Amino acid sequence: MANLEEEKRIDQAQFRDHLSTVNEDGKRNWIFPKKPSGRYYTARNILAVFLLAFFFSGPFITINGNPLLLLNILERKFVIFGVAFWPQDFHLLLLGSLVFILFIVLFTAVFGRLFCGWACPQTIFMEMVFRKIEYWIEGDSAAQIRLNRAPWDFKKLRKKVTKHTIFFGMAFLISNMFLAYIIGKDQLFEIITDPPSEHIAGLSSMIIFSGLFYGVFAFMREQVCHFVCPYGRMQSVLLDNNSINVMYDYVRGESRASIKDRYQLENRKATLEDLGFSANETFGDCIDCYQCVKVCPMGIDIRNGTQLECVHCTACIDACDSVMEKIDKPRGLIRYSSENAIREEKQKVFTPRVAGYSGILLILLTTFITLLTLRPDTETTILREPGTLYQELPDNRYANIYNVKILNKTFNEMPVEIRLESPEGEIVSLGSVDSIQPQNSAEGRFMVQLYQENLSGYQTELTFGIYSGNEKLETVTSGFLGPGNSTNN
């Protein structure tokens, strides 16, 4: 065990040239983190229970009979907090995405990777579900290492098979829930209950997603955060010396010396020179117990400074606090802090950069809310029928034929009426659209007749009002083709 730690230990002078999960031969160093405990771990467990409960119950929660969250990419139907969005609302989705991304940038600039450690699905499932199952079956880190090094026998085979069977079962369950957010719970139940031959595509998706999640949580693990997640790779541009991170207080902690060395010095059993220290060396609070490294699921030494591998899981904080209490030192040698707070004892959160991000975010958020509030319940398109010209009617009247398509964005059947608001004229139905089914669209044709005195030459702009009862839903414009010598001016 001690030899394994020594092999993986990377000192401060070299840690930026190495990955803790890769050895000198380029092979993977499997991480066996010690089971954490402490106040932060307890808090993360409580939060994880709420988040997992939300994830597994989300597909079954409805608002007025509508799903809480549905991201049906295949059918281009999106429901977010009970509000339906269609491809016609792409500008809202784009603006909402910009708001979300800028919020992440702002949040990261202030609080670092707090999201990764506390709310990221990868961390929640890995550390609060799969890792706990592993601890339960194979024991803590030392027992896992012994089991991995042991020859294959019935006991090892039983534990490995049991672990991976449960892992795949969890991955299958997660993939089903994930699919429910995409296609909806009703379609998911149909896939589960109908004969497999009727849902080949759905079952294939289940198997693919199950395999993907199983591979991520059983084998890839921290590699996802290191090499796949783009958020982690952006930390170098999102963080600065004022960002709050999980930090080692090197001012208080350095120089390090083990309990054994301190005991020998205090009892005059060795000199500083004997132990390899300089003659005027002074020691900080860090006793180099390595506990902060043993519990780290990323395999890093937080004492080497801020590293992109760190997901702010706070396991090192709990481990260090526990040690500090045992040696009668104040907690917080590793804590949430910033580089400037530790080095200069100045904690500044509202920096010019944060102020700039906040201002832009406020503008985007205000625009998004305004557009969302003004969004009509229908999306109507009225176009003159292709390939047709105007028709000349008795009494100096002219007519154009139009195609109309109305999309009902609501979850209720909606009666609709098209009214010509300007100029004065008449609508003759050729295939009326009286009502539209919820979450559906309807198409129809109608003729517009105008008197010559209401025309404005070749092109006259028409303004239609789309009504549901007496409520005006939206205003739509279109063009009316008339004879060139007609004008009301």
Q: What is the pLDDT of residues 242-261, one digit of tens each?
A: 999 999 999 999 888 898 88
pLDDT at 106 over 70: yes
Q: What is the pLDDT of residues 256-278, one digit of tens each?
A: 889 888 888 888 888 888 888 88
Would you say 302 and 333 are in contact if contact means Cβ atoms under 8 Å apart? Answer: no
Q: What is the pLDDT of residue 5?
A: 54
Identify the bridge partners of residue 247 per DSSP, sorted by sequence position.
Answer: 335
Other CB atoms within 10 Å distance of the CB of residue 354: 17
Q: What is the pLDDT of residue 489?
A: 44
Would you say 447 and 430 are in contact if contact means Cβ atoms under 8 Å apart? Answer: yes
pLDDT interval class at 367 (50, 70, 90): very high
pLDDT interval class at 13 (50, 70, 90): low
More confident call, 248 vs 387: 248
Query: Above pLDDT 70, what percent of the chain?
Result: 96
Q: Are strands 471-481 and 459-468 parallel, antiparallel or unpaired?
A: antiparallel
Q: What is the pLDDT of residue 7?
A: 54
**Angle of CA points 120, 126, 132, to nearest 5°:** 130
Q: What is the pLDDT of residues 122-168, one digit of tens each?
A: 999 999 999 999 999 999 999 999 999 999 999 999 999 999 999 99
Average pLDDT in the chain: 88
CA-CA distance, 180 to 43, in Å (whole number)? 29
CA-CA distance, 147 to 141, in Å (whole number)? 10
CA-CA distance, 329 to 325, in Å (whole number)? 6
Which two tokens mark 5?
A: 């730690």
Looking up tokens 């019935």 gives 154
pLDDT at 15 over 80: no
Q: What is the pLDDT of residues 298-326, one digit of tens each?
A: 988 999 888 888 999 999 999 999 999 99
Which amino acid is present at 215? G
CA-CA distance, 292 to 285, in Å (whole number)? 14
Region of 24 please: left (phi>0), alpha (psi -120 to 50) or beta: alpha
Which two tokens mark 326?
A: 């045992």
Region of 251 please: left (phi>0), alpha (psi -120 to 50) or beta: alpha
Whole-Å CA distances, 344 to 112, 337, 460 = 19, 12, 71
**pTM, full prediction:** 0.80
Size of the chain in residues: 489
Torsion over CA: 323, 324, 325, 327 (sign): positive
CA atoms within 13 A on the CB side of 121: 12
pLDDT at 4 over 70: no
Averaged pLDDT, 100-124? 91
Measuring CA to CA, which residue among 4, 9, 7, 3 is closest to residue 288? 9
pLDDT at 200 over 80: yes
CA-CA distance, 272 to 279, in Å (whole number)? 6
pLDDT at 426 over 70: yes
Q: What is the pLDDT of residue 332?
A: 94
CA-CA distance, 304 to 286, in Å (whole number)? 13
Q: What is the pLDDT of residues 447-487, one digit of tens each?
A: 999 998 888 888 899 999 999 888 888 899 999 998 876 55
Q: Are strands 69-72 and 440-451 parallel, antiparallel or unpaired?
A: unpaired
Averaged pLDDT, 193-208? 86
pLDDT interval class at 438 (50, 70, 90): confident
Would you say 427 and 420 are in contact if contact means Cβ atoms under 8 Å apart? Answer: yes
Averaged pLDDT, 45-53? 95
Q: What is the pLDDT of residue 219?
A: 94
Least confident window among 22-31, 52-61, 321-330, 383-392: 22-31
